[in-house]
Structure 1
């Protein structure tokens, strides 16, 4: 339920609810989300608020949008499994242009990279949206 008096912005609260629907499977890959107008009515907010909500979910890689069409739930990307030793440290940051090229991250796409450090030494750099880490 949306709390208009809460510290957390309303558009983020709505994003939380829609994210829960997606992650629970209530909305699956390929399913269309209700229209911006429908969601605005459902939550009692303006369409600008819902548009901000959609922007959050799109940046998170949960939905796709094309102007003039309903937003849809995207299929989760396959992730490479990388085994790291216990005690490894992870540093998340935005990539440099050279790292974008090296890791195949398209310009304009917002994807942090994860730098794995073991014993103070760098062990690898990975695009966060396509990597699943496990401990060896």
Structure 2
């Protein structure tokens, strides 16, 4: 498979790869069912980082042009013949998913329309986004960081679990402008990715509203911590201890485990990630909402980038942006 990269182009390298493959599919040079080179093979052929090639393949899969099958390889997907189906159905499904996500974040239909128009205008003008890679040890903190930093104008945010990056450092490559991680993981991540990335360290801490809610929690009865990962559960438990909540009355459970319903119903105080709906089943979410309606105390544990770190990130983003405009 021939991939010709345009040196000095404002189009990101991963996007050039995706466009080249998409063009060969459209021209029929790659037929449905054809097997594409592996990420490693194509990286060796082009001299690029494996993470860059993986990013391109991920984009092609999102567009419905290829399919990555675990243990078998990557294949060109079959074309849809119906004008009312195929790519149109994929596009409508993608838009529905986007609108659902915007509603989850609390944006109105009008606000979603404005943001969509802005993004289209940026693409038409060839404006290159600042790409942020967020790295942390648990999904809950990553998700909250992503929500917070996505509100910064003109950035694309990608999330990576620390263990995944340590196992495969190539996942973070030359397509990220800034790599953001906590002070806890900064040294470890720096050793893994070397000088290939511009690392920024931040401090995460519970919000004042969360600390106030914990301090005002009833002093009697069991306290239940319900999370998607043990690591985030331990973060919440440390806050409870710091605020004088007796560790003997604190229990923890993970979404998806057996007995979640009885756990929710049996704990007058529940502490969860603020965006817990992303990590639980529909039934589990309803059990939590039913508990709140029944008068149980439900505390959402906001774990956010602190103000000083946020200002530092914004300064770094602006510096990257100026560099892009000067190229």
Q: Could you say which TM-score interval applies, normalised by the shorter chain?
A: 0.5 to 0.7
Higher strand share: 1
Instruction: Write the deviation string for residues 86-119 of structure 1: whole angstroms up to 9, x where unpaired.
Output: xxxxxx782256xxxxxxxxxxxxxxxxxxxxxx
Q: Partner of 2:95 in structure 1?
A: 94
Q: Partner of 1:21 in structure 2?
A: 24
Count of residue pairs brought into register by the alignment: 88
Q: Which runs of 4+ in 1 moved over 3 A?
A: none
Q: 1:45 aligns with which of 31, 43, 48?
A: 48
Instruction: Tell me how far 1:33 sits from its aligned partner.
Output: 0.5
Instruction: Tell me how far 1:79 sits from its aligned partner.
Output: 2.4
Q: 1:64 aligns with which of 46, 62, 67?
A: 67
Q: Distance in 1 between matches of 2:63 and 2:26?
A: 12
Instruction: Tell me how far 1:64 sits from its aligned partner.
Output: 0.6
Unaligned residue ranges in structure 1 (runs of 5+): 83-91, 98-136
TM-score, reference length from structure 2: 0.25
Higher helix share: 2
Instruction: Tell me how far 1:81 sits from its aligned partner.
Output: 4.3
* Residue 35 in structure 1 maps to residue 38 in structure 2: yes
Instruction: Tell me how far 1:37 sits from its aligned partner.
Output: 1.2
Instruction: Write the deviation string for residues 42-77 of structure 1: whole angstroms up to 9, x where unpaired.
Output: 221011111000011101100011222210001012
Unaligned residue ranges in structure 2 (runs of 5+): 86-91, 101-327
Where 1:71 maps in the other structure, the secondary structure is strand
Q: Distance in 2 between matches of 1:78 and 1:67?
A: 27
